[in-house]
Structure 1
Amino acid sequence: MSWEERARILGSLERHNLNSFFYCPKEDSFHRTNWKESYSDEWMNQFKAFISMANKKNIKIIFGISPGLGFTNSSDINLLINKIESIQAIGIDNVAILFDDLFQNSSGVTHAEIVNQCVEKFKTISFLTVPQEYSLSQAKPDILTSLYLKDFNEILNPKVPIFWTGNQVVSKYSSVEDIHTWINAFKRPIIFWDNYYANDYCVPKIILESYQSLHFDATKLLEGIMINPTGMVEVDEICIDFFGNFINKDQTEVEDYFKDRNFPTELIKILPLFKFKINLKEAKINLKDIETLLWSWHHPLKFAIYPYLHMLRFMLLQKEHTSLSSLRKRFRIIN
């Protein structure tokens, strides 16, 4: 995503009075793979301008860094501190330290101590963190007896919020009771990291439906909610609109949303294919609608959903083919 596209995202957040932008794209190698290395002066200037733009809109920028890869000795903490100092110098005062998706067994003690050292060093920065086990499904054997989470939670500064994705890495719905379970386990502020609209695990699927991850009452129990969309600005603006409608109790129906913006009837007819879970029998899709969108529709959103439209067309044409069963499962499609 370009800086210009990120600026558009800030505009969407501002329209809905949403107050945070989390910068932690995995494609930024200096955030994750090459976290020990410094950003270029050009990048720092661009990020500084982005921070300034966000400040004018009363949106805080949370800078994420993932030091779990290659953190091998005590000298690495100095590299992490240097990285945070450089970001602080251009206006960042919210930093998230991430230990997700490391694909290696790590110590909860080590991870918590890394965060604590940063908290101690930077008194004016608000820190947040993502543990290596960040969902109920990853907590082994469970949220209360996981050795990693037990050590991490006991040692981590009690004021530091953690990100949690729910019962699964991608959770369809989290109840008030679920959230009470998390709170009782961690006894610290929890930010719900919501992958409802994310598609990096099921490319090219796109989800374009109203936000349904939580009951509104659940929002009062959480420190915050951070949605993780697709990285495609045309799609993400829609996802933010739906999330903003939820937060602001706007009851606009999904079909009306697209009608009000003059999207073609063919797209509105196939919106059931853009749900988190898809029931083909209930959807009653006409293949011609997909083909019209593929061959005759011209709109910026089309370029984002074009691969998915092609995949849908292929799957509908080959709907009885057994080789597609794994793909249907991945896209959460039932016949």
Structure 2
Amino acid sequence: MKSFIMSFMLLVLSCSFSFAQINNQARILYRPLVFPEPVSLQLKKGEFLMTPTVTLVKNKLSPEIEELIIAALNKAGVNDINYAKNLPDHLDHTYIVVGSKSEETIQAALDKVNTGVESRKEAYTLASASIDDGSLVTLAGSDENGLFYAAQTFSQLVMQEAISNLVIQDYPAMPIRGTIEGFYGKPWSMESRKAHLEFLGSVKANTYVYSPKDDPYARDQWREAYPKETLEELAALVETSEKNHVNFVYAISPGPTICFSNSGDLEALKTKFEKLYAIGVRDFYVALDDIEYTKWNCDQDEAYYGESGTTAAGIAQSELLNKLQQILDKMDPKISPLIMVPTEYYNASESDYKNALIANLNPKIVIQWTGTDVVPPSISNQDASKATKAFGRKTLLWDNYPVNDFGQTIGRLLLAPYRYREAGLSKELSGILSNPMNQEMPSRVAVTGVSSFAWNDKAYDPDIIWHIAAQNLANGDKRATDALLMFFDTQHLAPTFGSQPWQEQAPVLKAILDNIRKVLAFGDPDSKEIEINSLKKYANKFYQSPNIIRAVVDPVFIDEAEPWLVAMEIWGKALILTAEGLEAANSGNKNCQVYFLKAKELAKEASEVLSIPGATRFDGKIKIADGVLDVFIEEAPNLIYCP
């Protein structure tokens, strides 16, 4: 009997082992989703699970990169981490090798998988392989930034069910990627800026321009020194930037009052830059946008440059900027080139002003440009090529999306994907900076797209990145991700300065409601019942979405988006009642009118919800899927006979 039991157990174990092997052999390996899309991702045969104990092999490694890797491992359930300086001859568990491509340990690890690292700035290679009785993950950077981005990609990969054997070789298409806090209205708080800098690092963006229009010491009172407390706050932001491998760019806007020929004003700018250099700022910017440039601010300029006008303005501005560049070069020969935004920033046409500016401007100074308009519906390679000609160099795109500080954005969050920027712009531009909304966390939806496009414009997919942005805000929660995408759809409209938006409102909801109209007009009784039922289910999800979002998403996002969530909830109730009215009418129930009337009452209530006073430049009534949802609720009683 005992021998029978032993034989039976061996048979079970044998079958179990064979079954596991078959499962392993039959398992289909899928290409892991990494964002931004890497330049190259080669999937190899096989995969592995991270072992409970991991050895981190490192020599010189910055604290922020080590912390990022450890946090990723902890999140993936690995808490037992050993340290070593070299790889052993035989691998018996998971080893993670991290460092610069010049290190011997890194070269040895890369040789094991027959790969290397590109010599470009910010490039990295991430290789994972099943070796011996263990596994090897190599994170190699061409520089510190590249290594930081390798760690960011590793953070994404370890959250997969298993780690595929693969080789990723990656680098950015554009050297400058990020945001410019350049909107009008309520500026971000220092806490929001810090959070935004951490977010930028996570999406492989490398630039943040501090240019709030309401900072008096950067615009109206630019000659005056910052108070000690403010300077300390800016120093803290610079420190956060450095930890997240983001260049903190300080922008000053002297244009409204500067006297270009006055040596005292030049000295004031020099003093301001020196004070900021002392707290760690290494990137500077002069904003000459939104100013009067056909009149001098002082009689001295007229005496020095002659009669005011666009040509004279171009000459005066270029001379000032050249002197500032010389000051910066003397301050630090390794300092980044000065960035400027010209007074004519909004088109690619040649002009007297632009001709005078570029004829005299130091060629190393970077020029920003907003595209073919202040808020352009699209930007093509041809547009950017024209801008290169007009400004005498590749331009840095100031993309006014998702900024919501102009009249056409009243009552809106701008949450559509980043679209209609042509693949190939990386050859025509020096980079892209998004001008975000007054609401920092909702801005991340579009900025995730901007950063991903600037990293790899040729492989950019706006819909995938839109979904990833929702997933990130939802902390990976599927229900919250779906709820956010439903919410984003109600804020899909992207206006321009004109009457025509460059992205339509609520395309997903519109397709559903258009289909209902079609089925009610042409469908048979069964299909009408099915579609009305589907509408009821959708309406209930729509109504529930705000509370799902509130339960999972960061409280800061909730605070910034709360009026829209409140309005969406009320509109959701109105849509449920409208669907119930259609259902009642379809079955001949006379109560259909009661449903429709109540729905209209709720629609009116929802349309009266107001934005948070002072949160944006213009206050107003909240808009939810306007032109789509409100129209359907209004016309629904006429789509079917209600006795």
Q: TM-score, normalised by structure 2?
A: 0.45
Compared with structure 1, are the counterparts of its residues 118 and 169 closer, same or farther at alpha carbon in structure 2 (3 Å cutoff)? same
Alpha-carbon distance in 2 for matches of 1:307, 1:109: 48
Answer with 72-81 or 33-42: which moved more.
72-81
Alpha-carbon distance in 2 for matches of 1:174, 1:331: 28
Q: CA deviation at 1:103?
A: 4.5
Q: Do 1:129 and 1:162's aligned partners in 2 also have CA atoms closer than 8 Å? A: yes
Corresponding residue of 2:98: none
Q: TM-score, normalised by structure 1?
A: 0.83
| Partner SS, residue 122 of structure 1 | helix
Answer with 41-50 or 189-198: which moved more.
41-50
Listed one character per residue, the Cα deviations across residues 68-115 of structure 1 (whole Å, up to 9, x for unaligned) are 011136022221121112112222221110011114535122221211
Q: Do 1:12 and 1:241's aligned partners in 2 also have CA atoms closer than 8 Å? A: no
Corresponding residue of 2:315: 109
Corresponding residue of 1:278: 504
Whichever residue aligns with residue 485 of structure 2, its letter is I
Compared with structure 1, are the counterparts of its residues 242 and 81 closer, same or farther at alpha carbon in structure 2 (3 Å cutoff)? same
Query: Which of 289, 292, 296 lines up with 1:100 in the alignment?
Result: 289
Query: Which of 162, 178, 188 lines up with 2:383 in the alignment?
Result: 178
Corresponding residue of 2:250: 63
| Partner SS, residue 82 of structure 1 | helix
Whichever residue aligns with residue 395 of structure 2, its letter is I
Answer with 242-251 or 4-13: which moved more.
242-251
Corresponding residue of 1:139: none
Corresponding residue of 1:162: 367
| Partner SS, residue 62 of structure 1 | strand
Compared with structure 1, are the counterparts of its residues 333 and 194 closer, same or farther at alpha carbon in structure 2 (3 Å cutoff)? farther
Query: Which of 306, 310, 321 lines up with 2:562 in the alignment?
Result: 306
Q: Do 1:270 and 1:283's aligned partners in 2 also have CA atoms closer than 8 Å? A: no
* Map 1:78-157 → 2, pairs under 5 A: 78-103=267-292, 105=294, 107-123=313-329, 124=332, 125=335, 126-136=337-347, 143-144=349-350, 146-157=351-362
Q: CA deviation at 1:269?
A: 2.8
Whichever residue aligns with residue 278 of structure 1, its letter is E
Listed one character per residue, the Cα deviations across residues 267-319 of structure 1 (whole Å, up to 9, x for unaligned) are 4334333222224686337887776566886353232233456778799947x
Corresponding residue of 2:214: 27
Q: Do 1:171 and 1:213's aligned partners in 2 also have CA atoms closer than 8 Å? A: no
1:230 aligns to 2:437 (yes or no) = yes
| Partner SS, residue 278 of structure 1 | coil
Listed one character per residue, the Cα deviations across residues 213-263 of structure 1 (whole Å, up to 9, x for unaligned) are 422311232111111111322213333323333335464253465354442
Structure possessing the higher radius of gyration over alpha carbons: 2
1:10 aligns to 2:197 (yes or no) = yes
Q: CA deviation at 1:189?
A: 3.1
Compared with structure 1, are the counterparts of its residues 76 and 287 closer, same or farther at alpha carbon in structure 2 (3 Å cutoff)? farther
Q: Do 1:160 and 1:188's aligned partners in 2 also have CA atoms closer than 8 Å? A: no
Q: CA deviation at 1:154?
A: 1.4
Query: Which of 423, 448, 455 lines up with 1:216 in the alignment?
Result: 423
Give the CA RMSD over aligned residues. 3.2
1:243 aligns to 2:454 (yes or no) = no
Compared with structure 1, are the counterparts of its residues 29 and 288 closer, same or farther at alpha carbon in structure 2 (3 Å cutoff)? farther
Compared with structure 1, are the counterparts of its residues 256 and 100 closer, same or farther at alpha carbon in structure 2 (3 Å cutoff)? closer
Alpha-carbon distance in 1 for matches of 2:370, 2:222: 24
Compared with structure 1, are the counterparts of its residues 76 and 309 closer, same or farther at alpha carbon in structure 2 (3 Å cutoff)? same
Whichever residue aligns with residue 229 of structure 2, its letter is E
Alpha-carbon distance in 2 for matches of 1:118, 1:54: 24
Answer with 259-268 or 118-127: which moved more.
259-268
Q: Do 1:206 and 1:274's aligned partners in 2 also have CA atoms closer than 8 Å? A: yes
Name the count of aligned residue pairs.
321
Structure 2: runs of 5+ lacking an equivalent: 1-187, 296-312, 495-502, 514-537, 572-599, 608-619, 629-643
Q: Do 1:208 and 1:239's aligned partners in 2 also have CA atoms closer than 8 Å? A: yes
Structure 1: runs of 5+ lacking an equivalent: 137-141, 322-326
Compared with structure 1, are the counterparts of its residues 179 and 165 closer, same or farther at alpha carbon in structure 2 (3 Å cutoff)? same
Identity percentage of aligned residues: 24
Relative contact order: is structure 1 or structure 2 higher (C-alpha 8 Å, sep ≥ 6)? Answer: 1
